[in-house]
Structure 1
Amino acid sequence: MARASDTKTRIQAVARELFLEQGMQNTSLKQIADRLGITKPALYYHFESRDDLVRSIIQPLMDDLEAFVAGREPGDGRQLLEDYFDLIWRHREVIVVVLHAPAALVELNLMDRMWEWRKRLTALLLGPSPSLTAQIRATVALGGMSDCAVEHATLPFEEVKAAAVEAALGALTP
């Protein structure tokens, strides 16, 4: 018999797969349960609600992002961007899910946390009082890296990372 943690992990994997195929809003708990060959009540044994399931899929990304900025000091921008790319590459499927349903971040009260880590990451790159132009450059750099991890996910990791980091550094340079 499967352990509860194995079943929970399988539920999350199938939910992520269906969210990627048809969008979070168009995926029901019944569809997830059907694909797994379990009953909907069995799914509720592992997740109290649909929001609980969605949060469990997004939460590791949020936790990793917060730990990333919390454990950093201002310094080598290249290293920071390389490490940031590694992090977003690991979570690229979840980023796609979120991009297709950004309202989920609001519904799950995660949007404020997301903006906070982005602000802290920008401060690590630019210092505590960057100009408006520098802030815009950082938005382009960080957003562009996320886009690269998603849009070019089928290409070799090292190639995408090298090009994305160079482009981000270019965007940051006046």
Structure 2
Amino acid sequence: MLDRDPGSTRTRIQNVALELFAEQGYDKTSLRELSERLGLTKASLYYYFKSKDDIVQSLVDDLLTAVDEVVGWTRGQARTPENRRELIERYAKAIRGQGTPLLRFLMENQPALRVHACGDALRERMRVLVDFVVDPRDPLPVQLCGRMAFFALHGAPMIMSDIEATSEEVFDAACSVALSLVPDGDAERPPA
């Protein structure tokens, strides 16, 4: 993480931006509204971020730093059922540290991220992680389970937003579901 001090202006801007993006959507949120909500002048806001894209990039950069540690762990690891589960646990811990608002933003703003450079970087990392968990020789239902493990982690904050539970309880449930979906390596594979 670049700056995890919750009292820092940078982190405060990121947090309030995520609130506004969740309330109004990324496209409908302006820097003027953000500066007003923060009680900052636009000039003060521009000192930290020149645009909404810069804010999103900073959020994704922080996430990528955490995810890159997990990607690095996969190098040299055998794709065993145990290591697949270990990857899910490491990834879950990495994204949990980023917080529920960021996960909701990423899930709810897929169109905005498709055209943003940081979206490409996230997709690249996810391909590495999915390739570690999913064996292309497995039957399609088994491959889908491996991919759904990641979706359970990403989508739980949005899917469970109407449930009376804390963010931690929702994320714990998502981790449990994700681990239950990880292929165990016992699938019947067609001959190579």
1:81 to 75, 78, 88: 88
SS in 2 for 1:71: helix
Aligned residues: 169
The structure richer in helix per residue is: 1
**Percent of aligned pairs sharing the same letter:** 26
1:49 to 20, 43, 51: 51
Structure 2: which 5+ runs fail to align?
A: 1-6, 188-192
1:94 to 96, 102, 120: 102
TM-score of the two chains, using structure 2 as the length reference:
0.73
Go from structure 1 to structure 2 and tell me whether the alpha carbon gap of 1:136 and 1:158 turns closer, same or farther (over 3 Å shift).
closer
Alignment of 1:1-174 (within 5 A): 6-72=8-74, 73-74=77-78, 75=80, 76=82, 77-91=84-98, 92-126=100-134, 129-131=136-138, 133=140, 134-152=142-160, 154-155=165-166, 156=169, 159-161=172-174, 163-169=176-182, 174=187
Go from structure 1 to structure 2 and tell me whether the alpha carbon gap of 1:147 and 1:96 turns closer, same or farther (over 3 Å shift).
same
Q: Whole-Å Cα distance in 1 between the matches of residues 94 and 29 of structure 2?
A: 27
Higher mean Cα deviation, 43-52 or 141-150?
Answer: 141-150
Q: 1:131 Cα shift?
A: 4.1
Structure 1: which 5+ runs fail to align?
A: none
The amino acid of 2:52's aligned partner reads R
Q: 1:172 Cα shift?
A: 7.8
Q: Per-residue displacement from partner, 1:43-102 (whole Å, max 9, x unpaired)?
A: 111112221122112221122223211222234222222222222333332121122211
Go from structure 1 to structure 2 and tell me whether the alpha carbon gap of 1:166 and 1:56 turns closer, same or farther (over 3 Å shift).
closer
TM-score of the two chains, using structure 1 as the length reference:
0.79
Go from structure 1 to structure 2 and tell me whether the alpha carbon gap of 1:70 and 1:166 turns closer, same or farther (over 3 Å shift).
closer
Go from structure 1 to structure 2 and tell me whether the alpha carbon gap of 1:161 and 1:135 turns closer, same or farther (over 3 Å shift).
closer
Higher mean Cα deviation, 19-28 or 152-161?
Answer: 152-161
Q: Whole-Å Cα distance in 1 between the matches of residues 186 and 148 of structure 2?
A: 11
Q: Whole-Å Cα distance in 2 between the matches of residues 172 and 148 of structure 1?
A: 25
Go from structure 1 to structure 2 and tell me whether the alpha carbon gap of 1:58 and 1:159 turns closer, same or farther (over 3 Å shift).
closer
Q: Per-residue displacement from partner, 1:14-45 (whole Å, max 9, x unpaired)?
A: 11121122221121111111011111121111
Indicate if the aligned counterparts of 1:64 and 1:87 stay in contact, CA closer than 8 A.
yes
SS in 2 for 1:110: helix
Q: Whole-Å Cα distance in 2 between the matches of residues 59 and 86 of structure 1?
A: 17
